[in-house]
Amino acid sequence: MPPSLRLPSVLSSTPCGAHQLCRSTGQSSRPFSTTLRHDHRVTRARRGLFRWLSLQGENFRNPLSGSTNYLGAYDNRSGVLRRVQEAELRNTLERQNGEAKPEKTGEQSAEEKSKIPPEEPRDRVPFPQNKSFLSQAVLSEELREEIWSRVMKEGQSVREVSVTLRVEMSRVGAVVRLKEVEKEWKRIGKPLARPYAQAVMSMLPQTPFDPSKPDAHGSHESINDLPVHASTGQQIFHPTSESRHFTRLDAAKVFNKRLLPADDRIPHPELVIQHRERVIDGLTVEERKERAELRAAEAEEKRERIAAKQAAAEARVKKIDSGRWEFRFTPINADDAGKDGRGHRGIGWRYGVPLYDRSRGQIKIPKSVG
């Protein structure tokens, strides 16, 4: 990594950066300074810097448009894009192997020479020292627009859009919300930072979307990852009998009695069911469709039942607006407290029961959150 430069303006303005920089930094801007001029000394690091500037550094003075231009994409020795180097090598090998082939290949190679091969995951290393850090693709403008239109115009569910476009559900939700904000800003005439967005997007890897071929859309990310639950972080030695059929269902119960099994905690359990029906059960398309509809209907019924229950509970609450506050009267049954008034379903402060909240050793802060 080169050290930071003192005079970046010199670098950008002059064609031959290295020598000019040597001279200009050698002259101190403070003529009466008594400090030693270490700038004059030509150290190894300094030589390395200028070598880097003349090789790889040249690439970043006029960055390649339409490319991420990460440091890791360039070869260390020659300072040329690795993918370009490899393509050339491949071409020469091909030429050596099949020289007798028709001229058509010659024409093709001429075209290909002018074109830079597409980026590979290897070229997405912004920090060459950290090989395991790969810059992940972001959603392209077209794909975000498509997500918004599918959810808001076509009325598809977030789950559905997530599966078809292979984007996480939370991300789909975020895209829809932000798109709504953007459209609202456009409506009221608030200026958008378009040039900034374009500049940033041109420097990032993107997941493209072609509106003419919506079915050929690739995957943006893994959508069915199991979220890590705090209860599953512990290592448990749980002895069971050999004859016992110990499944994920049992494993979840061992971790936490209220923990759902992994099959139910994944974001898209329906994908697993569909796969099982297709591969293991070998059902026909019609049968699978029928079952999917049945499942959807069941889910809808359950959702409606819960919504109706909530609405009924809400309707029972009498709301009175007093100007500053809203008073909410919830009906209760005083008999719930039982004959002695100490029943656990009774409401209000209880009588004749000591409250230990001020005594020693009582933990008041929550032990678990969520």
Buried b (16+ CB within 10 A) or exposed e, 163-201: bebbbbbebbeebbeebeeeeeeeeeeeeeeeeeeeeee
CB 190 within 8 A of CB 203: no
Determine the residue type at 331: P
Residues 323-342 that bind another protein (CB under 8 A): 324-334, 337, 341
**Interface mask toward another protein for 166-195; x: CB under 8 A:** ------------------------------
Report the C-alpha gap between 95 and 103 in whole angstroms: 11
> Applying CB under 8 A, which of residues 61, 295, 303, 318 lies at the interface with another protein?
318
The yes or no reply on residue 347 touching another protein (CB under 8 A) is: yes
Four-residue CA torsion sign, 115, 121, 125, 130: negative
Give the nearer residue to another protein in terms of CB position, either 184 or 290.
184
For residues 84, 89, 90, 96, the Cα torsion angle rounded to the nearest 10 degrees is 150
Q: Which of helix, strand or coil describes residue 191?
A: coil
* Residue closer to another protein, measured from CB, 289 or 318: 318
Q: Does 356 bind another protein (CB under 8 A)?
A: no
* DSSP H or E stretch at residue 38: none
Determine, following the binding rule CB under 8 A, whether residue 237 of this chain makes contact with another protein: no
Residue with tokens 């959150």: 369
Contact range with another protein by CB under 8 A, out of 39-47, 154-162, 172-180, 319-327: 319-327
Q: Does residue 32 bind another protein (CB under 8 A)? A: no
Q: Does 364 bind another protein (CB under 8 A)?
A: no
Q: How far is CA 170 from the centre of its chain?
A: 9
Residue among 195, 198, 206, 202 nearest 66 (CA): 202
Report in angstroms how near the CB of residue 340 gets to another protein at its nearest: 10
With the CA atoms of 163, 167, 171 and 175 taken in that order, what torsion angle do they form, in degrees rounded to the nearest 10? -90
* Residue 354 binds another protein (CB under 8 A): no
Under the criterion CB under 8 A, does residue 349 sit at the interface with another protein? Answer: yes
Q: How far is the CB of 328 from another protein (least distance, A)?
A: 5
Cβ 116 vs Cβ 64: under 8 Å:
yes
Q: Is 60 in the site for another protein (CB under 8 A)?
A: no
User: Would you count residue 117 as binding another protein (CB under 8 A)?
Assistant: no
- To another protein, the closest distance from the beta carbon of 316 in angstroms equals 11
Q: Interacting stretch for another protein, rule CB under 8 A, among 53-61, 186-194, 293-301, 315-323?
A: 315-323
Binding residue count for another protein, defined by CB under 8 A: 24
- Of 351, 354, 362, 368, the one binding another protein (CB under 8 A) is 351
Applying CB under 8 A, does 352 fall inside the site for another protein? Answer: yes
| 55 C-beta neighbours (distance < 10 Å), count | 16
CB-nearer residue toward another protein: 195 or 331: 331
Q: Is 369 helix (H, G, I), strand (E, B) or coil?
A: coil
Which positions lie near another protein, rule CB under 8 A?
318-322, 324-334, 337, 341, 346-349, 351-352
